[in-house]
Amino acid sequence: MIRKFLLLSFTLGSSLLFIFQLTTLQLFNSDYTERSLNNAVQKRPIYPTRGLIYDRNGTLWVANKPVYDLMVVPENLNAFDTLELSKSLKITKETLLTQIQEAKRFSRKLPSVVMRQLSLAEVGILQEKMWKYTGFYFQKKSTRDYLLPIGANVLGYTSETNQNEIKTKSDYDLGEMIGRQGIEKTYEEVLRGTKGEQLFQKDRFNRIIGAYEGGAYDKASEAAEDLTLSLDAVLQAYGESLMNNKRGGIVALEPESGEVLALITAPNYNPNLLVGRDRSKFFNKLVQDTLAKPLFDRSLQAEYSPGSPFKTLNALIGLQENVITSETIFACNEGHFYARGAFMGCHCRVGTKSDLKKGIYNSCNTYFAKTFMRIIESKPTPEEGVNLWKTHLEKFGLGNYLGYDLPIGKRGFIPDSEYYNRWYPKGSWGATNVVSNAIGQGEILTTPIQMANFTATIANRGYYRKPHFKKTNSLQERDSLYPINQTSIDTQHFETVIEGMHQVVEKGTARIARIKGIEVCGKTGTVENFIRLNGEKTQLTDHSIFVAFAPKDEPKIAVAVFIENGYWGARWAAPIASLMIEKYLNGEVKRGWLENRMLEGSLQSEYEKPLLGKAFTINE
Amino acid sequence: MNNPFLLRIDWLSFFLYLILVSFGISNIYSTGFTEESLSLFEWTTPAGKQFWIFIFSLVLFPFVIFINSNFFEHLAYVFYGLSILSLVGLFLFGQKISGATSWYLIGGFSLQPSEFAKITTALFLTARLSSIQMDFKKRQELFKLFLVIGVPLLLVLLQPDAGSALVFIALFFVLFREGLDMRIFYLALALVIVFILTLLFQPLNFSIALAVLFLLVFRFLKKSNSKVKKTPFLLVFVTLVFFSLSVNFIFNNVFEQRHRDRFNVVLGLETDTRGIGYNINQSKIAIGSGGFSGKGFLNGTQTKGGFVPAQHTDYIFTTIGEEWGFIGSSGLIILFTVLILRILYRAEKHTQPFPRIFSYCFASMLFIHFFVNIGMTLGLVPTVGIPLPFISYGGTNLLAFSLMLFVYLNLDANRLS
């Protein structure tokens, strides 16, 4: 009996099962209708054009320009002259055919990109022939257009998102523009705007036949905000030209507000190189230049010994801790013995007696070594002394990230007792072991922007606001975003140091930085430096450093200039800083001879020395 | 229609056949429909090809229907032999299309010999089963039967074509009908259940549950009848647990990932809608979006969007579900059910074994295609490449099933001779 009904019951059973499943799928589940709608309605994002970027004076710096992607819908292709099209596109026929093949593999009905980011000029040539190429069309997009080819290190760059990124960034589409570095990255949310969405109805052939429901569900895009930078484009451009054929950085700040007026790293590159189809080609070139490192922002990322400008900070700490007064006099005999058998040289002649001001404008090593030892020894143990010293320095924004609004930076380094305890078994070190820090050599490291920042702090007589690159809209916004950071040095102590710095320019080590009509205060620096060449520690020509601010009263600009292997402070850094100040305050430079010397001067031969594989002399 | 022979023909089945094939061609046309669609009768389109095969089958109809029935019975072994040869020949001259060497390419036609092997195996099996010396108690005879099914089954598995292999397995329905030990059926059923439960709940959980169940049943039986012995229970239990463990081993170590995925998707253990689950998911969307009355002939957006793969062949049911809705798709299921039940009904009425057994073979083959194909598009059965007879695009399949139907009609109409 059961034998007869076996297949019969299987058949009936499965029919019932199927109809039950059909009932749930088709009658009691609107979910599937909706999901079918997703297939039948095409969503197209609308990208607002990226926000424009202006300099502090309202000069348009970064705009957008249209580029065109050549698209293909394989289904609509007819036979065409592949050779002619590939020639017009300046690609090989094989490349073109592979692209079309890949498009077919992706989808016959949906558009694929054949060639990315063609310029308007390139499209113009093709446009009149497009009737021959059915199935191809241009899709307009927008990329960055750098009207001023400067400031690449500050602005950063944009590029299309890739397959990996969209996995983690859910609100980005594949190929959408995203800020990668600098301002473009920090202010991505502002510059990007809010993208909209357009819905299109597709017909049963999967072709778009118009807006879905008359556009009722479309979302308009919200325009991006424009951005005004604190940078002065004229000063930035001038600084970049002064750095021709040199390596190093310039940072110019407005002391009162903390606004960055110019941030120059050298060598740099034209930001327009990183736009368009050849982006990756140029980017790879920049990455591969491991000698000059154009992508390395020396003004933010390079940690150098600060050299003599650092003496001003030791002077201030000495004054605050009462270990010296502005009248304290130290004697120097071409240097001094700071411990038995340990001599620190100085360029002061034998028998020189300096007070604090003279110590600064003559940059007397002895004066500050003695001051520094007194600071360290003012406490019962050198550990406490060093830590006290460090606490003061941290208030100047040293030894840590400054917290400015660019995505890169370095901490620099200020040693503490723990650090020295690691190097010397506990208790076996004293002021004499760490005395190099007195003259800005030793263990301390600072970045050029940190140097500019402590210079601005001196100019402000004891406080700073975090350096920043976006101009704030109001004073209230400035005060809330960038409140005053007060140092631990009393205001009255600054005047002596500032007077010393003024004398540096008037009669000291940097008389070349004098500007008629402007009271400039500055401090030169000459920093010994070493590299490892074929496994041997090799000394290179000294770095040339200058920090300055002007005018002496109510300062408008503070500058730090760092020229790698520029020999001594007054040789390159001081003139460049002085020219920057003159350009910014006077709007024009009268000292044409100095300007020319700086514009045309090159240090390339200096940079090639260690690469040639021959013995070389330094500081010549 | 005065000819009594013509009156005896099962016109209902033939009529169902005409409806099914016409419906099939319409839907194939719809899947390939574009704005500049060619005429239905164009040989270059799938729908056109299917149409002409249909016409060719109809031309064959009178020839097959008027052949003397004995012809099939006497030449069954010749046809079978030729089929086996053609299957073997594939390994030498066959054409590999999407991974399986299942086709001969002859002068622009592609032929799938396994489709013909289905009908010849059915014929030969029928011949053997209906012979006088057939006795299910004789091991030797049984072995021969298994061989008849096993040889083509093995050959299509080697192509590899799991779908066709299933069709040969379906012939066991016939064996059970004709007297194969039903315990084999129960065992097979139990093993299938164990297989599914093992995949769902892991062997350990399954074994524990099984032990508890057996203990309870044993206790219960012991109470009512104290003669019940432990040993058979223990034996069955150990066998099932062993099977469960081996299923687990085979599934994880012998199966390829794509096979595992197919099971996992159906059992709901995986819900990846982009990768492995994509076909099933798109298929369900298309069918589900049809709603009650469908989007209308040629109006399916899923069908045109090319979201469902192999839509004019194995996934043709999605087009039907989308464009014809619940009415159309459940209607098709009912048509198929009626056809199968009709064949079974007629089969049981036969007094002679040969027409009965062949009808049974035909019904079981139709059933397995129907069950696996529609079950797959509805996400109830793991993905296996198997067409929906009379509906799916595929010349050889249509021709072979038409012939099988005609042979059935012939045998059925000649029941009195």
Residue B384 to chain A, least CA–CA distance (Å) = 17
CB distance A14–B375 less than 8 Å? yes
- The pLDDT value given to residue A35: 64
Which of A26, A37, A108 is the closest to B287 by Cβ? A26
Measured between beta carbons, which residues in chain B are less than 8 angstroms from residue A21?
A: 378-380
pLDDT above 70 for B39: no
Whether B345 shows a pLDDT value over 90: the answer reads yes
Contact A18 B344 (CB under 8 A): no
| Coil vs helix vs strand at A438 | helix
Q: Number of residue pairs across A and B with CB atoms under 8 Å?
A: 130
Chain B residue closest to A109 (CA)? B305
Could you tell me if A462 and A494 are in contact, meaning their C-beta atoms sit under 8 angstroms apart?
A: yes
pLDDT at A504 (0 to 100): 93
DSSP code for A396? T
Question: Rounded to whole angstroms, how far apart are CA atoms A53 and B101?
Answer: 64
Q: What is the pLDDT of residue B306?
A: 59
Q: Are B305 and A27 a contacting pair at CB < 8 A?
A: no
User: What's the pLDDT tens digit per position in B376-385?
Assistant: 888 888 888 8
Measure CA A418 to chain center: 32
Q: Evaluate whether B175 touches B187 at the Cβ level (below 8 Å).
A: no
Q: How many residues does chain A have?
A: 620
**Domain boundaries of chain B, sorted by first residue:** 1-67+280-393, 69-169, 187-254
**Is A10's CB within 8 Å of B371's CB?**
yes
Nearest to B378 among A18, A40, A206 (CB): A18
Which residue type does A178 have? Answer: I
Name the residue facing A27 among B284, B292, B333 (closest C-beta). B292
Of B288, B337, B340, the CB nearest to A32: B288
Chain B residues in contact with A31 (beta carbon < 8 A): 288
B303–chain A nearest CA distance, Å: 8
Tell me which residue in A6, A26, A202 faces B292 most closely, judged by beta carbons.
Answer: A26
- Are B144 and B125 within 8 A, CB to CB? no
Nearest chain B residue (CA) to A23: B326
B-chain CB neighbours of A19 within 8 Å are: 330, 333
> What's the rounded Cα separation, in Å, for the pair A204 and A187?
43
Instruction: Give the nearest partner residue to B35 out of A3, A37, A205, using CB atoms.
Output: A205
CB contact under 8 A, B179 and A40: no
Q: Do A25 and B360 touch (CB under 8 A)?
A: no
> Higher confidence at residue A386 or residue B202?
A386
Please report the residues numbered 330 through 369 in chain B whose beta carbons come closer than 8 angstroms to any beta carbon of chain A: 330, 333-334, 336-337, 340-341, 344, 348, 360, 363-364, 367
Establish if B306 touches chain A: CB-CB under 8 angstroms: yes
Above 70 in pLDDT, residue B301? no
pLDDT, tens digit (0-9, with 9 covering 90-100), for A416-452:
988 998 888 767 888 888 889 999 888 999 999 999 9
- pLDDT of B238 strictly over 70: yes
For B282, the closest chain A residue by CA position comes to A36
- The answer to whether A364 and A500 are in contact (CB under 8 A) is no
List chain A residues with pLDDT less than 50. Answer: none
Q: Which residues of A touch B35 (CB under 8 A)?
A: 205
Q: Is B173 on the interface with A (CB under 8 A)?
A: yes
Do the Cβ atoms of B301 and A204 come within 8 Å?
yes
B 21-40 residues with CB < 8 A to A = 33-35
Q: Is B133 helix (H, G, I), strand (E, B) or coil?
A: coil
- The beta-carbon contacts of A210-215 under 8 Å, at least 24 apart in sequence, are A212/A41
A543 to A191, A310, A536, B8, B115: CA distances (angstroms):
38, 14, 20, 111, 87
What chain B residue is nearest to A35 in terms of C-alpha separation?
B285
State the smallest CA–CA distance between residue A173 and chain B in angstroms. Answer: 17
B305 contact A CB<8A? yes
Rounded Cα–Cα distance for residues B247 and B240 (Å)? 10
A160 phi-psi bin (left φ>0, alpha ψ -120 to 50, beta other):
beta
- The nearest CA of chain B is from the CA of A44 a distance in Å of 17
Q: Is the predicted pLDDT of residue B253 greater than 90, yes or no?
A: no
> Among A120-124, B72-76, B308-312, B360-364, where is mean pLDDT lowest?
B308-312
- CA-based torsion, B248, B252, B258, B259: positive or negative: negative
CB contact under 8 A, B34 and A36: no
* CATH placement of domain A41-59+148-202+214-228: 3.90.1310.10
Record: contact B367-A11, CB cut-off 8 A: yes
- Can you identify the CATH homologous superfamily of domain A233-611? DD-peptidase/beta-lactamase superfamily (3.40.710.10)
For residues A289 and A293, what is the distance between their CA atoms, to the nearest angstrom?
A: 6
> What ipTM was reported for this prediction?
0.90
For residue B295, the chain A residue with the least C-alpha distance is A204
Nearest to B285 among A14, A17, A32 (CB): A32
Q: Which residue of B186, B301, B339, B372 is the best one to mutate when testing the A interface, meaning the one whose CB has the most A CBs within 10 A?
A: B301
Helix, strand counts (H, E) of chain A: 23, 21
pLDDT of residue A495: 93
Contact state of A206 with B301 under an 8 Å Cβ cutoff: yes
Given a cut of 70, is residue B275 above it in pLDDT? no
- Alpha-carbon Rg for chain B, nearest whole angstrom, is 23
Q: Name chain B contacts of A203, Cβ cutoff 8 Å.
A: 301
A253's tokens = 């700040």
Give me the DSSP letters along B9-46.
S-HHHHHHHHHHHHHHHHHHHHHT--TTPPPTT-TTSH
- Listed by start position, the domains of chain A span 41-59+148-202+214-228, 66-121+135-142, 233-611
Return the pLDDT at B40: 65
| CA distances in angstroms from A289 to A157, A272, A276, A282, B258, listed in the order given | 18, 18, 21, 11, 47
Highest mean pLDDT among A605-619, B146-160, B240-254: B146-160
How many beta carbons lie within 10 A of that of residue A400, not counting itself? Answer: 14
Q: Determine the 3-state secondary structure of A4 from DSSP.
A: helix
Residue of B34, B290, B302 lying closest to A26 (CB–CB): B290
Name the token pair of A169: 């960034």
Which of B289, B334, B362, B368 is the best residue to mutate to test the A interface, defined by the most A CB atoms within 10 Å of its own CB?
B289
The DSSP symbol for A236 reads H
Q: Which of A133, A61, A123 is nearest to A96 (CA)?
A: A133
Tell me phi and psi for residue B358, to 5 degrees.
-65, -45
Which residues have C-beta within 8 Å of that of residue B85, sequence separation ≥ 6? none
User: What CA–CA distance (Å, rounded) separates A205 from A538?
Assistant: 73
**In chain A, which residue's Cα lies nearest the Cα of B174?**
A7
**Which residues of chain A are within 8 Å of residue B321 when distances are taken between CB atoms?**
22, 25-26
User: What is A66-121+135-142's CATH number, 3.30.460, 3.30.1390, 1.10.10, 3.30.70?
Assistant: 3.30.1390
pTM comes to 0.63
Smallest CA–CA distance, residue A13 to chain B, in Å, is 10
What are the distances in angstroms from CA B46 to CA B41, B102, B312? 10, 19, 8
